[in-house]
C-alpha cells in the first residue's frame, strides 16, 4: 500500500508533464515538420519534371530557383517575427495586438515584394554578370518571369501560417501544403509537357504551376481562417488598408536579424558545396546525397523549433517564467531524442540510405557510395548539433531576442564552421570528412551559445517581470 501510494505522485507528475509540455510541443511541431516535408516535395517535383526537358532546362531552373530562394529565405525570416509578437499578445489576452501583428505581416509581405520583383526581373542580366552561359541565363530569366510572382502568395502564406501556429491550428497548415504539392505536381505535368490538350509550355509551364499552387494554398488557409468560428472573431483582415507603422517596424526590427541568420546558415552550406567541389565531382555527388538525407530529417527540428518559439512567447506573454523554461527545455529534449534516433539510423544503415539515390549499376556508383557513407557517419553527430542550434535560437526568438543570436550564428557558421572546414579538410588533409566535421563544429558552437543564453535569460534581462 505504501509503495503504491508513493508511486502515484510520480505517475501523476509524468502525466502532467506529458499533457502540459511534451504533447502540445508535438501537436504544434510535427504538423509543421510535415508541412516542411511537403514543401520539399514541391521542389523535388519541379526538379524531376523539368529534368525530363533536358540538362540545359534543368540547369537554368536550378540557377533561377536558387536565386529566388535566397530572397525568399530572407523574407520568410522577417515574417517569422509575426509569431513571437502574436503569441505574446495572445498570452497577454490582447486580441487587438495579435490582429495588428498579423495585419502588418501582410503589409511586410506586399511591400517586400516590390523591390524583390524588380531585382528578379533582371535575373538574366545578373546571371550574365556572374559569368553564366548566355543560353542558361536566357532560360533562367524566362523561367523567373513567371516564378517571381510566386513570391507574394508564398510570403502571405508565411504570415497567415504564423497566425495559425499561434492559434495552435498547425494541422490545417500541413493539409494545405500537401494540397498545394498535389496541385503543383498535376499542373507541372500538364503544362510542362502539354498533356491532356494543354499547350506544351516547358519552363513557362513550371512557373505558372508554382504561382497557381502557392496562390491556391494561401487562399485555402485564408478561407479556413475566415470560416473557423474561433479564428474569424480575430478579424485578421479588419481594416487591412490601415497602416500601423510601430508594429510594422517592430516586425522589421525583430525579423531582419532572423532573415540574415537564415541566409548566413544557408551560405555556410553553399560554401561547403564549393569546398567539396574542389575535391572533385564524385565527392560532390556524395556530399549532395548526404546533405539531402540530412535535410529531410532536419525538417523535424524545424517544426519543433517553431513550436518552441510559439510556446515560449505564449508563456512570456502570460508572465509565466517557469513556463518559459519548461517550454524551451522540453522542445530541446524532444528534438534531441528525435535527432538521436536519426543519428542511430545514419550509423546503422548508411549504405542503404545512400543507395536510394544511386544507380548501383553505374561504374562510379561505388565511389560515390563510399563518399556518401563517410559523410553520413559524420552527419549523425551533425544532426544533434543542428537540432540543438535551431531550438536554442528559436527559444531566444520567442523572447524577442534576435540580434545577439545573429552574431552567434555569424561566429559559429563562418568563423568556426568555415575555418575548421578549411583547416580539417585541406590543411589536415581529411578531405570531405574534414569539411563535414567543420560544419558540425560550427553548428555545435551556435547550439552551445544559444542554449547558454537561454539558460541565463533572467540574469541577462531577456525576461521581463
For 252-256, the CB contacts below 8 A with 24+ separation are 252/78, 252/81, 252/108, 253/81, 254/81, 254/84, 254/85, 254/397, 254/400, 254/402, 255/77, 255/78, 255/79, 255/80, 255/81, 255/82, 255/108, 255/402, 256/77, 256/78
How far, rounded to the nearest angstrom, does the alpha carbon of residue 65 sit from its chain's CA centroid? 16
C-alpha 158/C-alpha 351 separation (Å) is 37
Q: CA nearest 415: which of 381, 389, 446, 392?
A: 446
pTM for the model: 0.88
Mean of the pLDDT values across residues 57-83? 88
Q: Specify the pLDDT at position 15.
A: 52
Mean of the pLDDT values across residues 294-316? 92
Cell readout for 457 is 535569460
Residue extents of the structural domains in the chain: 14-243, 255-465
Question: Mean pLDDT over all residues of the chain?
Answer: 89
Q: Specify the pLDDT at position 103.
A: 96
3-class secondary-structure state, position 173: helix
Mean of the pLDDT values across residues 99-118? 96
| Contact partners, residue 180, CB within 8 Å, separation at least 6 | 38, 42, 213, 214, 216, 217
Q: Specify the pLDDT at position 274.
A: 84
Q: Are 210 and 150 in contact (CB under 8 A)?
A: yes
- On the 0-12 / 13-18 / 19+ scale of CB atoms within 10 A, 281 is exposed
What is the band of 3 on the pLDDT scale with cuts at 50, 70, 90? very low
The answer, yes or no, to whether residue 270 has pLDDT greater than 50, is yes
Q: Specify the pLDDT at position 313.
A: 94
Higher pLDDT, 178 or 202: 178
The region of weakest confidence among 53-62, 116-125, 180-189, 446-455 is 53-62
Q: Specify the pLDDT at position 146.
A: 93
C-alpha 186/C-alpha 179 separation (Å) is 11
Alpha-carbon distance values, 15 to 10, 21, 207, 268, 329 (Å)? 9, 10, 50, 41, 17
- DSSP label at 346? H
User: Cα-atom radius of gyration of the chain, to the nearest Å?
Assistant: 23
The answer, yes or no, to whether residue 124 has pLDDT greater than 50, is yes
- On the 0-12 / 13-18 / 19+ scale of CB atoms within 10 A, 272 is buried
Cell readout for 230 is 474561433
Instruction: State pLDDT tens for residues 378-397.
Output: 988 888 999 999 999 999 99
C-alpha 389/C-alpha 449 separation (Å) is 8
Q: CA nearest 28: which of 174, 214, 160, 147?
A: 174
Range picked from 44-58, 76-90, 258-272 for highest mean pLDDT: 76-90
Mean of the pLDDT values across residues 142-156? 95
Amino acid at each position: 500500500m505504501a509503495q503504491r501510494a508513493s508511486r502515484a505522485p510520480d505517475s501523476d507528475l509524468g502525466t502532467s508533464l506529458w499533457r502540459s509540455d511534451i504533447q502540445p510541443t508535438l501537436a504544434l511541431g510535427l504538423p509543421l515538420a510535415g508541412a516542411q516535408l511537403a514543401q520539399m516535395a514541391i521542389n523535388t517535383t519541379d526538379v524531376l519534371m523539368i529534368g525530363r526537358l533536358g540538362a540545359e532546362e534543368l540547369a537554368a531552373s536550378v540557377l533561377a530557383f536558387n536565386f529566388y530562394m535566397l530572397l525568399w529565405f530572407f523574407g520568410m525570416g522577417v515574417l517569422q517575427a509575426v509569431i513571437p509578437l502574436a503569441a505574446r499578445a495572445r498570452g497577454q489576452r490582447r486580441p487587438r495586438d495579435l490582429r495588428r501583428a498579423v495585419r502588418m505581416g501582410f503589409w511586410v509581405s506586399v511591400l517586400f515584394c516590390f523591390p524583390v520583383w524588380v531585382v528578379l526581373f533582371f535575373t538574366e542580366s545578373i546571371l550574365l554578370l556572374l559569368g553564366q552561359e548566355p543560353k542558361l541565363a536566357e532560360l533562367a530569366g524566362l523561367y523567373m518571369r513567371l516564378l517571381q510572382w510566386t513570391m507574394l502568395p508564398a510570403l502571405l502564406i508565411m504570415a497567415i501560417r504564423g497566425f495559425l501556429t499561434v492559434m495552435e491550428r498547425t494541422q490545417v497548415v500541413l493539409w494545405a501544403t500537401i494540397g498545394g504539392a498535389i496541385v503543383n505536381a498535376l499542373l507541372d505535368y500538364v503544362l510542362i509537357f502539354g498533356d491532356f490538350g494543354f499547350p506544351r509550355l516547358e519552363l513557362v509551364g513550371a512557373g505558372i504551376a508554382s504561382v497557381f499552387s502557392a496562390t491556391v494554398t494561401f487562399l485555402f488557409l485564408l478561407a479556413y481562417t475566415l470560416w473557423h468560428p474561433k479564428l474569424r472573431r480575430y478579424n485578421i483582415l479588419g481594416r487591412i488598408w490601415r497602416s500601423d507603422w510601430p508594429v510594422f517596424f517592430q516586425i522589421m526590427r525583430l525579423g531582419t536579424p532572423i532573415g540574415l541568420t537564415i541566409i548566413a546558415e544557408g551560405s555556410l552550406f553553399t560554401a561547403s558545396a564549393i569546398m567539396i567541389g574542389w575535391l572533385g565531382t564524385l565527392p560532390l555527388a556524395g556530399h549532395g546525397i548526404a546533405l539531402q538525407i540530412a535535410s529531410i530529417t532536419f525538417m523535424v527540428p524545424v517544426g519543433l523549433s517553431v513550436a518552441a518559439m510559439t510556446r515560449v512567447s505564449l508563456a512570456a506573454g502570460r508572465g509565466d517564467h517557469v513556463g518559459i523554461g519548461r517550454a524551451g527545455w522540453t522542445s530541446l529534449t524532444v528534438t534531441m531524442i528525435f535527432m538521436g534516433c536519426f543519428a542511430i539510423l545514419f550509423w546503422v544503415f548508411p549504405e542503404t540510405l545512400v543507395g536510394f539515390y544511386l544507380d548501383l549499376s553505374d561504374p562510379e556508383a561505388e565511389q560515390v557510395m563510399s563518399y556518401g557513407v563517410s559523410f553520413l557517419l559524420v552527419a549523425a553527430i551533425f544532426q544533434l548539433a543542428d537540432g540543438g542550434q535551431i531550438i536554442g535560437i528559436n527559444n531566444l526568438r520567442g523572447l524577442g531576442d534576435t540580434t545577439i543570436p545573429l552574431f552567434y550564428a555569424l561566429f559559429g557558421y563562418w568563423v568556426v564552421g568555415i575555418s575548421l572546414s578549411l583547416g580539417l579538410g585541406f590543411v589536415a588533409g581529411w578531405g570531405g570528412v574534414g569539411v563535414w566535421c567543420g560544419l558540425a563544429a560550427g553548428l555545435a558552437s551556435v547550439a552551445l551559445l544559444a542554449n547558454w543564453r537561454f539558460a541565463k535569460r533572467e540574469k541577462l534581462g531577456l525576461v521581463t517581470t
